[in-house]
Amino acid sequence: MATAAKKAPAKSRSDSKSLSAPVTPKPVDFTKEQDLAAYREMLLIRRFEEKAGQLYGMGFIGGFCHLYIGQEAVVTGLQMSLIEGDQMITAYRDHGHMLAMGLSARGVMAELTGRRGGLSKGKGGSMHMFSKEKHFYGGHGIVGAQVSLGTGLAFANRYRENPNVSVTYFGDGAANQGQVYESFNMAALWKLPVIYVIENNRYAMGTAVTRASAETDFSQRGVSFKIPGIKVDGMDVRAVKAAGDLATEWCRSGNGPMILEMETYRYRGHSMSDPAKYRSKDEVQKMRSEHDPIEQVKARLIAKKWASEDDLKAVDKDVRDIVADAADFAQTDPEPDASELWTDILI
Amino acid sequence: MPIEILMPALSPTMEEGNLSKWLKNEGDKIVAGDVIAEIETDKATMEVEAVDEGTLGKVLIAAGTEGVKVNTPIAVLLQDGESAADIGKGAAPAKAEAPAAAAAPAAAAGPVAATPVAAAPKTEVAADPDIPAGTEMVSTTVREALRDAMAEEMRRDGDVFIMGEEVAEYQGAYKITQGLLQEFGPRRVVDTPITEHGFAGVGVGAAMTGLKPIVEFMTFNFAMQAIDQIVNSAAKTLYMSGGQMGAPIVFRGPSGAAARVAAQHSQCYAAWYSHIPGLKVVMPYSAADAKGLLKAAIRDPNPVIFLENEILYGHSFDVPKLDDFVLPIGKARMHKTGKDVTIVSFGIGMTYAIKAEAELRGMGIDAEIIDLRTIRPLDFDTIIASVKKTNRLIVVEEGFPQSSVGDHIANQVSQRAFDHLDAPVITIAGKDVPMPYAANLEKLALPNVGEVIEAVKAVTYR
């Protein structure tokens, strides 16, 4: 059957002001505090993920486990642009997002080991974690599903007429799912405050973007819907923050959605069980040595004499302590009580 | 010979309609294609175009007449040389007139004499304990009851909104949302693009923040495009988040066979969704249940699948006149008490059970009829208590037979009340074939009253 859909009247916010089509902003130099904070945050994610990989190898973490190593600047930079109440939602490579939102390393790690102190009481696992308190809406195992859900978070913001923005993450792989474009259409039609963050780490599992995507410039995937998009150096936390500032301002001003294509890279396989034979070791090594997001900040801190090697070692020790504590907790915390099998199915 | 203009069928489920307005007067010249009248169907107001040429000789059904049956002569068209005096001299029935605008979305709105399930005969209904004795009852269609339920809940709670295809400006593909846009505005009555997967996800996302969306699917057949969001996102989030957040959302729309809409538009989803922990599944038969249970579904903090039926939309039932009539989800309704056999059904399946019961009474068999109303959670207590009394069980539904709701009930009853059964449980379902289009085959594919009677005779050894 063919019936023409009618356009729902989309009420622009009263404070709506039109901005010109956005272009990739130049990275703005961070203050000492910002660089130190970014360094610490990214290092926490890196060390956390390294430990998770280790615990997986030891059998403490089961199932699928997707590490965020290499992509730390994306969530860290974007988080710096958000205000209280802004929501975040992503797919299954989600540990870093939760740490960046300020969720406890213990809660995340204990969820990975399936213990009662995990963020989902051990019932969600690595791919399915949530925090109502921090407005983190998962943690989704179905590639692309979070894009429609994230659009719904933005719908709720507009419905409630609050100033918040939904930051909806997905990968270059999910970018080929049909519901992504259904969501783009509605978000643009209704001017919903949603930032679509496409984390282009070049591989959808084992398939390089050039083998899966007819259009590999993901920033332009919204053109049919008049959604502006920009490419961002996702390995430079300052570039990410500048793009985040631009996009949040764009959305909060009632202009509707915006796409940020984050050009990033994952150092590890798609999941712990992926040998990553679809790319060369040289390619990985080149990214690590020339573009590592943490090393970039470290070099700046040293060059500007904002921190000494010893200062940074102290940061590393702090972070390692947090991660070690989380790992200890995650190994010793009891499994959920058997009665939990039957809870949280219905309210 | 004068030509009779007949009341056209303008939707697959239309049995009668209202002749709203004549746009031509007696004596007017008419050429083919002229709009001659406006007819209000069960779905929309349609313009009727003339098929033949001539002069409008006589209007047989006055404007404003309600409940005009399909194929009733509504006017007489005089051809060249004829006069009013010729009327009544063996008028030839015209081909039914053609609709000018195909407003009925699911319909290739051709002139089909749709004769789906006729209105159920009046049955003796046991008093519903959820309705206070002495309550005034108002005859209401299922369609109006659903609309009233949504309007009342939207007045009560600003977090409730409805979204779906054609729910706002069009007033609902099946007129279920009629008037809601006018009362609540476009912020809360949201027309979506044709994008089931996407807007189901948008609804679930909004629900995860605490809003209470009603997502209308034009039919549940189209929700197959959205089933991932319903099952993987709506149903499982509460569990996966350790109880932190769920999705207080209602997915509603027609499910099951309508009339002559064939394989892709005729499928019952009761068994499908009843398989999923984390969902509630409601499938009402009467208007009172439709209203009381839809209000309950909207207030429920869990995702609720609310399965309606196109044919039942136009059926009228008594609905209690109460300020706030809310029924419990998960509780079956004793439609009629009896002692010889238990017939369990739900939704439109009830029409077969009710007609069979009337005939069985004539044979001296006193059947008990239980209307499940909710498929998940299923009210086994009521079924088993009844089986313990009658020792015989028949289940009637329109869905496919394998892994049907009836199969599940038969299995559970055999485990929980085996010693009380005096005969095997018989399950009556739709046939194990895609729904055919041809009228005779469609009839064969659906359950029928005869099958119910035969089953009852078999289990009572008559």
Please report the residues numbered 287 through 316 in chain B whose beta carbons come closer than 8 angstroms to any beta carbon of chain A: 301-302
Please report the residues numbered 269 through 288 in chain B whose beta carbons come closer than 8 angstroms to any beta carbon of chain A: 277-278, 280
pLDDT at res. B370: 98
Cβ B239–A137 below 8 Å, yes or no? no
From A141, which residue of chain B is nearest by alpha-carbon distance? B232
Cβ A7–B192 below 8 Å, yes or no? no
| Model confidence at A64: pLDDT above 80 | yes
pLDDT in tens, A126-151: 999 999 999 999 999 999 999 999 99
Which residues are B55's β-sheet partners? B29, B78
Please report the residues numbered 2 through 21 in chain B whose beta carbons come closer than 8 angstroms to any beta carbon of chain A: none
B95 with B162: CB under 8 angstroms?
no
pLDDT band of residue A273 (cuts 50, 70, 90) is confident
Give yes or no: B265 in active site. yes
pLDDT at res. A213: 95
Please report the residues numbered 21 through 50 in chain B whose beta carbons come closer than 8 angstroms to any beta carbon of chain A: none
| Model confidence at A266: pLDDT above 70 | yes
C-alpha pair distances (Å), B207 with each of A61, B63, B246: 31, 46, 8
pLDDT band of residue A1 (cuts 50, 70, 90) is very low
pLDDT in tens, A190-249: 999 999 999 999 999 999 999 999 999 999 999 999 999 999 999 999 999 999 999 999
C-alpha pair distances (Å), B231 with each of A89, B44, B114, B276: 18, 33, 35, 7
User: Domain A25-321 is of which CATH architecture?
Assistant: 3-Layer(aba) Sandwich (3.40)
Chain A residues within 8 A of B186 when measuring between CB atoms: 8-9, 11
**Among A187-196, A227-236, B40-49, B330-339, which stretch is predicted with the lowest mean pLDDT?**
B40-49
**Among A6-15, A57-66, B49-58, B283-292, which stretch is predicted with the lowest mean pLDDT?**
A6-15
pLDDT band of residue B104 (cuts 50, 70, 90) is very low
pLDDT band of residue B99 (cuts 50, 70, 90) is low
Higher pLDDT, B87 or B426: B426
B192 CB near a chain A CB, below 8 Å? yes
In angstroms, the CA B315 to CA B138 distance is: 13
pLDDT in tens, B150-178: 999 999 999 999 999 999 999 999 999 99
pLDDT at res. B112: 38
pLDDT band of residue B406 (cuts 50, 70, 90) is very high
In angstroms, the CA A132 to CA A148 distance is: 18
Chain A residues within 8 A of B206 when measuring between CB atoms: 152-153, 155-156, 159
Residue in A213, A300, A304 with CA at minimum distance from that of residue A261 = A213
> ipTM, 2 decimals?
0.89
**Region B409-430: what's the mean pLDDT?**
97
Q: Hey, how many other C-beta atoms are within 10 angstroms of the C-beta on A34?
A: 17
**Region B397-409: what's the mean pLDDT?**
98
Cβ B203–A152 below 8 Å, yes or no? yes
Q: DSSP assignment, residue A91? A: -
In angstroms, the CA B320 to CA B132 distance is: 9
SS3 assignment, position B144: helix
Using alpha carbons only, what angle is made at residue B173 by residues B256 and B185, rounded to the nearest 5 degrees? 130
Q: Which of A168, A186, A196 is most worth mutating to test chain B (most B CB atoms within 10 A of its CB)?
A: A186
A178 CB near a chain B CB, below 8 Å? yes
- Could you tell me which residues come within 8 angstroms of residue B370 by beta carbon, excluding any fewer than 6 positions away? B332, B333, B334, B335, B342, B343, B344, B345, B382, B383, B386
Mean of the per-residue pLDDT values for chain A? 93
pLDDT band of residue B92 (cuts 50, 70, 90) is low
pLDDT at res. B93: 56
Option in B195, B210, B236 nearest A186 (CB): B195
Using alpha carbons only, what angle is made at residue B249 by residues B244 and B251, rounded to the nearest 5 degrees? 145
**Region B184-209: what's the mean pLDDT?**
97
pLDDT at res. A42: 98
pLDDT in tens, A8-45: 444 444 444 445 678 999 999 999 999 999 999 999 99
Chain B residues within 8 A of A161 when measuring between CB atoms: none
B12 with B173: CB under 8 angstroms?
no
pLDDT in tens, A303-341: 999 999 999 999 999 999 999 999 999 999 999 999 999
A107 CB near a chain B CB, below 8 Å? no
| Model confidence at A7: pLDDT above 50 | no
CA distance B107 to chain A (A): 8
Q: At what angle do helices A32-57 and A237-252 cross, to 10 degrees?
A: 100
| Model confidence at B113: pLDDT above 50 | no
Q: DSSP assignment, residue A339? A: G
The size of chain A, in residues, is 347
**Among A97-101, B53-57, B154-158, B314-318, which stretch is predicted with the lowest mean pLDDT?**
B53-57
**Region A96-118: what's the mean pLDDT?**
96
Whole-structure pTM value: 0.88
pLDDT band of residue B127 (cuts 50, 70, 90) is confident
Mean of the per-residue pLDDT values for chain B? 91
Using alpha carbons only, what angle is made at residue B36 by residues B31 and B37, rounded to the nearest 5 degrees? 170
pLDDT at res. B293: 98
| Model confidence at B109: pLDDT above 70 | no
C-alpha pair distances (Å), B251 with each of B146, B205, B255, B267, B285: 13, 14, 11, 16, 17
Strands B316-320 vs B137-141: parallel, antiparallel or unpaired: antiparallel
CA distance B202 to chain A (A): 4
Peptide bond into B377 cis (omega under 30): yes
